[in-house]
Structure 1
Amino acid sequence: MKHIVVLTGAGMSAESGIKTFRDADGLWEGYDVMEVASPQGFRANPELVLDFYNQRRKQLLEVTPNQAHYDLAQLENDYKVTVITQNIDDLHERAGSTNVIHLHGELFKVRSTFQENDIKEWKADLVLGNTCKNGYQLRPHIVWFGEDVPMIGKAVSICETADILIIIGTSMQVYPAASLIHYIPQNTPIYFVDPKPNITSNKNLTVISEKATIGIGITIKLLKTL
């Protein structure tokens, strides 16, 4: 069974109504990203940061997976599929994908500020005073700017085993995620789905200039010709 590795970014969830800071010149829902997505921002104003993610969590509870999420999940009927996403939502899982790697963390999880591996599921509001078992404040389980990306090593290992690569809704400009394409075995077919692609087709690369819900359908048809 061929192994498809899928790299997804903000464009994957945009059609479900999830906004990203890149939609508005560095602002995320009206906030400077360094205020709400950096260790410095959390130290300076933890209540603001916690409230920001509380609002994002509530938003995520109100949206649903789009057709692109469901189409990717259906690929598991015919292929081994690993989704490596930069998104912090759970829409891939809700659509039925069973093997999802979250590079930048997960909105429905929190972790201890004392021990980063002390992680728990969390769908309610998170406020000052919510602590881990050792009495330390809990924080969103999100990889903020300037922090290490713990899952990048696992993602590299997965990419090295890919028979097919599909990239959906990501500019491939944010590192270290953007470096993953360099670990795909040579001559691996690559499908790049994005309405405004910043890359041109070559021998192994097929560019599909469409939004996710349309582009993944086209990609699936092309897979059948391999």
Structure 2
Amino acid sequence: MQHVFTLDTLEQAVRGSKPAKLAVLGYPVSHSSSPQLHQSALDALGIEISYIRLEVEPGKLPLAFDKMREFGFIGCNVTAPHKFEALETCSRISDQARLLGAANTVVFAGNDSLGYNTDGPGFMRAIDEAFDLKLGDTHSLILGAGGGAGQAIATQCALQKPAKLTLVNRSLDKIIALASRLLIISSYTKIFTLTFDDPNLIEYCHAADLLVQTTSLGLQKN
């Protein structure tokens, strides 16, 4: 079990010889590998601060931001289910976060919290580097397209104007609304919307060039 702090125990994280100044916020958050990634970089650069996991219940993000500013945090990463709430909680957001519809990176500057989104650009770069695929030439099928990461990635795909894009979610409401917004970005793209129980889902999966898993499946033990 990876060590996880809560808002009640956060003060403990900032009192050590290597005080916590950065964190990843989620609910749950014990699965996150962000601390290994970022702490390794901090240590390599000789920066004597810690990057921690902070479990924050839904609805408590404003309180979390206030406490983190109080304790001198530089900023944080935000994972499920907080990416939509982060967009609403930040006092200022980047144009990209506004366009992608969610925030996953927050910087504290005085009394301000600045929201950014690296999900879409990071995904595009990773797909290019790992598979030599260009999203504009790829039929992507996004599982969990109604969530924060799913919407950001779907929007990033639409920005590249592919011929086809398939959105899959538990319910249709969110992705039908998303598809309407994406068609404004790329009227050229044919967008398909499906639920997970659609009998044609397997057929759509076979037709796609790239399957993108953005659901919360696997975050809980059960």
Same fold (TM over 0.5): no
State the TM bucket, normalised to the shorter chain: 0.3 to 0.5
Report the TM-score when normalising by structure 1.
0.36
